[in-house]
Structure 1
Amino acid sequence: MSKMNAVRFYGQRDIRLDQIPVPSVKPGQVKIAPKFCGICGSDLHEYLGGANLIPQEGHPHPITGETLPLTLGHEFSGVVEEVGEGVKNVKPGDRVCVQPTIYDGSCRACKRGLVNCCDKNGFVGLSGWGGGLCEHMVVPESCVKPLPDNIPLEVGALIEPLAVGWHAVDISPYKEGDSVLVLGGGPIGLAVVQALVGKGCKTIIVSEVSGRRREFAKQFGAHHVIDPVKADVVEEVERLTNGEGADVGFDAAGVQVAVDTAFKAIKARGTLVNIAVWEKRATLQMNDIVFRERGYMGVATYALGDFEAVIKAISSGAMKPAGMITKTIKLDQVAEEGFKTLIEDKENHVKILVDVGSGI
């Protein structure tokens, strides 16, 4: 059996470049040669403190049946190499990206079409079925999204995180003419900014501690940026919204002070949308919600149709995300030039891509 290179997760701060068997294609599946793969904050959390999302020995994922070591990478693009029997929407040679959601299709949420809320949900590159940090991988046809000719493969690897931001905006109460506060200028906060730009928002305010990330926010379309260390966010938001407060807030920071600030900066009957994955339990000042009738809602990754919407927005020029790529590395540099860089110098980077197709 032929072998291939794959970056696999074994445990906390333990990832290895392994030689593993090349997977074969079954009916309904598509074999892809990944070309570019982004390193996500979820990957970094697993690397620093995992395994958390990645299933451990003795506790296999309920759908994939797999446990660590697993191949990493869920933000990726590639080229179709082979298709299984019954596959109709893609063919060998097609340029594609992958929507990595794993779902059972039969739980209460899935029956309503809410596959991102599946009771047993998982992700390619975190729960099994291979990942983008390898030379060949196989997924069901439903995961594969064709890329138009005017979207480079490098940009194709950005569609997954952009879809997170798009979904958050899409299911929020945001409507044309609303003012929006985004808390946090990391990759997901910037994805929200770009989704808002793509939907024509005219008042985007970003609160971010890092000066470099405030620059990124302005670059991607934020109209106003606030340094919460030096300025009173609530006062600044009121000033920028003619004393009204923001209509909608998006929390991409996941820290207590951001939530406390957000509720005071949002107008009565405004809504705070939580995108961040929290490491600690949050405390809510319920009276800030109750007496101003504010809403608080969670969003999870992306739903059916979000990838297609982002692809359309990029292809049309409504979203221009190429500037998110701040560094490109090779498959054998993931630990030193990827994870280490994001740990020690994260403020200067939005998205580090692994050029899987260039070899090692």
Structure 2
Amino acid sequence: MSNTMKAAVWYNQKDVRVEERDIKEVKDNDVKVKVSWSGICGTDLHEYEIGPILIQTDNPNKLTGEKAPLVLGHEFSGVVEEVGSNVKNLKKGDRVVVNPVVTTGKHSPETDRYYDFYSAGLHTDGSFAEYMISPAENVVPIPKELPLDKAALVEPLSVAAQAVKEAKVKDGDTIAVFGCGPIGLFVIVAAKAAGAKEILAFDLSEDRLHKAKEVGATQVLNTKDKDAVAYIKETYPEGVDASLEVAGVKPTFDSAISATKPKGNVVVVAIHARDFEFNPISLMTSGVKLSSSLGYEFETFKKSIDILMDKNIDVNPIMTKKVKLDNIVEDGFHSLSSDLTQAKILVELSGEI
């Protein structure tokens, strides 16, 4: 068997090359996964367009000892190809997803990711490759009824599910989602799974709002046409139970606070690219609780598999395109940045379903 594989490797900004790469050794506590499908994340796109952001180019990551060039990709599914000698709970042929984030385990499961961690595709080789090596403890078997292309959505869904958990969304709640890009769409899915009764979604793109309706939003509004807060207050004069800010700009941040009832939760999910002025008095006078959400707890990652298995949940509209690894730059990155009808683009590796 060949010791090399085809992979998409990040060298620098606007420089991702599909080339042959050595397959790493499977150590005693590792699992080698034959990758089936791998989604393109907004993080991957940002690393391509304006990076390096999280990828380290000068000094190696202190946990992995690695730096660029690295294989990108961290949202993926696959089939176990080989296990290390200490691995007893997984075997060749198991269908799996992999939590790409490895923490030190020195802190609580709720906070560990806010200390030292590394992620596949950013600090060590990732999943835009034929094979991926992962610590066994991060590898999670999936039900045989879950198709492997849909299983590649577990990781981005986990980001959204964690944010919904932080927002304390419960049965019967009314929530507002500001921004209906890929993570915004997954927030709608996760909020529906958490029991939200009314999900109001806001965006500037009709295509994205259409998708929001398809995946579970009960009302949508193009904020080019009307102010979101005014729209919300017509029906809910006290405000919504929770707002999730997934657009990453000041107007939606302000709207999320203004739209939420006293003691309601506003959770910032988006990565904000630039600073803006914010006066905390808007929180003090409204009684709103403001927090943020980064990544996810491992338990949330596992529970996201259950969300995908829920018969009332439909994530198919979020999978908008499948591309070959050879064409990842043109059909993947370029398409994602220029075409607002795209949500989650999946890269085909083995293509097994």
> Structure 2 length as normaliser, TM-score?
0.96
CA distance in 2, matches of 1:235, 1:62: 49
- Which segments of 5 or more consecutive residues in structure 2 lack a partner in the other structure? none
Gaps of 5+ in 1: none
Taking the aligned partners of 1:306 and 1:338, their CA distance within structure 2 comes to 28
Read off the aligned partner of 1:322 and give its amino acid letter.
Answer: N
Q: Is contact 1:62-1:120 (8 Å) kept?
A: no
Cα distance in structure 2, aligned partners of 1:116 and 1:249? 25
Shift of 1:117: 2.4
- How far did 1:116 drift? 5.1
Deviation string, structure 1 residues 81-128 (Cα, Å, up to 9, x no partner): 00001212211001111111121223xxxx222365242222111110
- 2:344 aligns to what? 351
Specify the alignment match of 2:195 in structure 1. 200
Q: Which residue of structure 1 lines up, in the alignment, with residue 129 of structure 2? A: 134
How many residue pairs get aligned? The number is: 351
Q: Is 1:330–1:358's contact at 8 Å kept on the other side of the alignment?
A: no
2:98 corresponding residue in structure 1: 98
Q: Aligned partners of 2:98 and 2:283: how far apart in 1?
A: 38
Q: Give the percent of matched residue pairs that are identical in Structure 1 and Structure 2.
A: 36
Q: Which residue of 2 aligns with 1:330?
A: 324
1:283 Cα deviation after fit: 2.6
Which residue of structure 2 aligns with residue 253 of structure 1? Answer: 247
**TM superposition score normalised by structure 1:** 0.94
Question: Secondary structure at the residue paired with 2:47?
Answer: helix
Structure 2 SS opposite 1:271 = strand
Matches of 2:255 and 2:316, distance apart in 1: 31
Question: What are the superposed Cα offsets for residues 189-213 of structure 1, whole Å, 9 maximum, x if unpaired?
Answer: 1111001111221110011110000
CA gap 1:176/1:332 in 2 versus in 1, 3 angstroms: same
CA distance in 1 between partners of 2:79 and 2:350 (Å): 10
Q: Specify the SS of the correspondent of 1:353.
A: strand
Letter in 2 for 1:182: V
Does residue 189 of structure 1 match 2:190?
no
Alignment of structure 1 residues 1-360 onto 2, 5 Å: 2-57=3-58, 59-106=59-106, 111-114=107-110, 117-128=113-124, 130-241=125-236, 243-345=237-339, 347-358=340-351
User: Could you give the per-residue CA deviations for residues 306-342 of structure 1, whole angstroms, max 9, x where no partner exists?
Assistant: 1221111222324321221111011100001000101
Q: Is the 8 A contact 1:105 1:115 kept in 2?
A: no
After superposition, what is the alpha-carbon deviation per residue over 1:177-233, rounded to whole angstroms, capped at 9, x for unaligned?
Answer: 221010100111111100111122111001111000000000000001111111011
SS at match of 2:350: helix
SS at match of 1:267: strand
Task: Quote the offset at 1:285 in angstroms.
Answer: 2.9
**Does the CA-based 8 Å contact 1:97-1:147 persist in structure 2?**
yes
Letter in 2 for 1:317: K
Is the contact made by 1:13 and 1:48 (CA closer than 8 Å) also made in structure 2? yes
